[in-house]
Amino acid sequence: MRIILKKNIKNYNLDDLKNELVVLGEKPFRAEQLFKWIYCEKVNSFEEMTNISLELREKLNEDYEFIPFKIIKKLKSADGTKKYLFDLQDKEQNIIETVLMKYHHGCTLCVSSQVGCKMGCKFCASTCIPFSRDLLAGEIVEQILAVEKDENIRISNIVFMGIGEPLDNYDNVIKSIEIINNHKGLNIGARHISISTCGVVPKIYELADKQIQCTLSISLHTANNETRNELMPINKAYNIQELIKACEYYIEKTNRRISFEYALVNGKNDNLENAKELVSLIKGMLAHVNLIPINEINDLNYIKSTNENVIRFRDYLNKHGIVATIRRELGSDINAACGQLRRQNLKEVN
């Protein structure tokens, strides 16, 4: 008996798809037709691909499948931000969250890269439930397709700032970027894609060597190793100095400005001494700092900095030659803001 394990057609970038078609005895240009149907027309079946012969459609149907997500819930924030809960339709009944933010310059989608997270940052809700698995490239891309289709919009920016550590799922994330970026498909420019990491140093070097021009965001949160060890376990593997060295390499290779994320916690990393440490760490680097008053998470004991402290911190950085802005928090009323996304299970959301 032949057990047929169908493959998700959205896991392939255009070159992979060409190879798959050649193996089926087809001409590579068929892959471009397929790509167009999937990413421009957003079909979810081979039957709809009317310029492809019935024979090939049937052949494809035998080996490949479409696994569209089911929208379990869609929450809307007072500020217009929308959070989707997607059922991945897998046997573990995994659920992920994806957040859509509309700005005057376009729509940004915050995508998840894993179901859960292994990194264990103490202030982040994504680590509250055990890690389940990596997302495949097709599942990263599916978040964009599902939202574009549901809202009838075009997404212009992607940020890998949802659940998971993108550089801990490096191959699938890179593959998804190759798909997202392709001008024959979704056509979202690399400069409109941001990857955020807590500091998986070897993968930062690898990403730099790929030179794909996406923005790198570093979740730094403190310039002090002792505090960072306490807040972010990854720091024990790769400390701040190693992280900064990797960032300098990224800048050298890509000529792209790095974005440092700094969530301000009352009494932990928000006084002027802390700001001074940050200045001496990154002064002169091609970088800017995004300040985020920390979002308080139930069960986690971190308190937001006061507005006064946030402004004082920003002003100190600006005065000492570091470009720093306070990030407008979107979606906190529906738990869609930074650090509030978490893996859920079906029982919880029903």
Residues making contact with ligand SAH (CB under 6 A): 119, 121, 123-124, 161, 165, 196-198, 219, 261, 263, 292, 294-295, 297, 338-339
Q: How far is the CB of 339 from ligand SAH (least distance, A)?
A: 2
DSSP state of 260: E
Strands 64-65 vs 70-76: parallel, antiparallel or unpaired: unpaired
Q: How far is the CB of 143 from ligand SAH (least distance, A)?
A: 14
Question: Of 65, 103, 84, which Cα lies nearest the Cα of 146?
Answer: 84
**Residue among 18 and 221 whose Cβ is closer to ligand SAH:** 221
Strands 193-197 vs 106-110: parallel, antiparallel or unpaired: unpaired
**Residue among 68 and 120 whose Cβ is closer to ligand SAH:** 120
Question: Of 67, 213, 57, which Cα lies nearest the Cα of 142?
Answer: 67
Cβ neighbours for 50, distance < 8 A, ≥ 6 positions apart: none
From the candidates 117, 198, 214, 338, which is the catalytic residue? Answer: 338
Q: How far is the CB of 165 from ligand SAH (least distance, A)?
A: 4
Cβ neighbours for 100, distance < 8 A, ≥ 6 positions apart: 81, 82, 83, 84, 107, 108, 109, 110, 147, 151, 155
Q: How far is the CB of 65 from ligand SAH (least distance, A)?
A: 29
DSSP-based helix, strand, coil % in the chain, nearest 5 = 40, 20, 40
Length of the chain: 350
Residue 243, amino acid: L
Question: Of 100, 79, 125, which Cα lies nearest the Cα of 328?
Answer: 79
Active site residue 338: yes
From the candidates 97, 148, 178, 329, which is the catalytic residue? Answer: 97
Count Cβ atoms below 10 Å from residue 25 Cβ, excluding itself. 8
**Residue among 157 and 295 whose Cβ is closer to ligand SAH:** 295
**Residue among 50 and 298 whose Cβ is closer to ligand SAH:** 298
| Position of minimal CB gap to ligand SAH | 339
Q: How far is the CB of 178 from ligand SAH (least distance, A)?
A: 20
- Alpha carbon 333 to its chain centroid, in Å, reads 21
Dihedrals φ, ψ of 62, to 5°? -70, -35
Q: How far is the CB of 182 from ligand SAH (least distance, A)?
A: 24
**Residue among 124 and 135 whose Cβ is closer to ligand SAH:** 124
**Residue among 98 and 219 whose Cβ is closer to ligand SAH:** 219
Task: Specify whether the CB–CB gap between 242 and 221 falls below 8 A.
Answer: no
Bridge partners of residue 158, in order along the sequence: 109, 193
Active site residue 273: no
Q: How far is the CB of 76 from ligand SAH (least distance, A)?
A: 21
Bridge partners of residue 253, in order along the sequence: none
Q: Token digits for 281? A: 């760490």
DSSP state of 304: B
For residues 293 and 266, give the distance between their C-alpha atoms in angstroms, rounded to a whole number: 9
For residues 287 and 247, give the distance between their C-alpha atoms in angstroms, rounded to a whole number: 9
Q: Token digits for 345? A: 């299970």
Catalytic residue ranges:
97, 338
